[in-house]
Amino acid sequence: MKRLKMTVKTAADGTATAFSPRATGKLHSIHYVEDGATAFADGVDFTVTAETTGETIWSEQNINASAARYPRAPTQSAAGAAALYAAGGTAVQDKIGLANDRIKIVVAQGGNAKVGHFIALID
């Protein structure tokens, strides 16, 4: 696995946009790690996507503490129909693939000049 670490610092209005280095592989997990007194304000919002495709990796509002997410995407048949475990059942999901792409992190309501750390694990 490869670990990508991103440090994100907000502007005075509490927003920030940051990018990971380019990576290729399947995204295993993404972690937000608070860092004491400089951590994002409670209620921070994250939108994390693949830069090239715009595919959503993590979108969540009102986060108040360190968090780990293991994002997965729904799969489909060759005909475009949702792949299900059983007829009318739960969707089959798989890890999100990245191909020489960057992870884009957009922060809102993070507080003035606050810092957050993100770690992505790529398999």
The pLDDT tens digits for 77-114 are 899 988 998 877 888 999 999 999 999 999 999 999 99
The pLDDT tens digits for 47-70 are 999 999 999 999 999 999 999 999
Whether the predicted pLDDT of 121 surpasses 90 = yes
**Cα distance between residue 18 and residue 97, in whole Å:** 19
The whole-model pTM stands at 0.91
CATH (domain of 17): 2.60.120
SS3 27: strand
Handedness of CA 85, 89, 90, 92 (dihedral sign): positive
- Residue 116 near residue 8 (C-beta atoms within 8 A): yes
Return the pLDDT at 36: 87
Return the pLDDT at 86: 82
Tally of structural domains, the chain: 1
Domain containing 36 equals 2-122
**Cα distance between residue 59 and residue 12, in whole Å:** 22
- Residue 1 near residue 94 (C-beta atoms within 8 A): no
Return the pLDDT at 85: 87
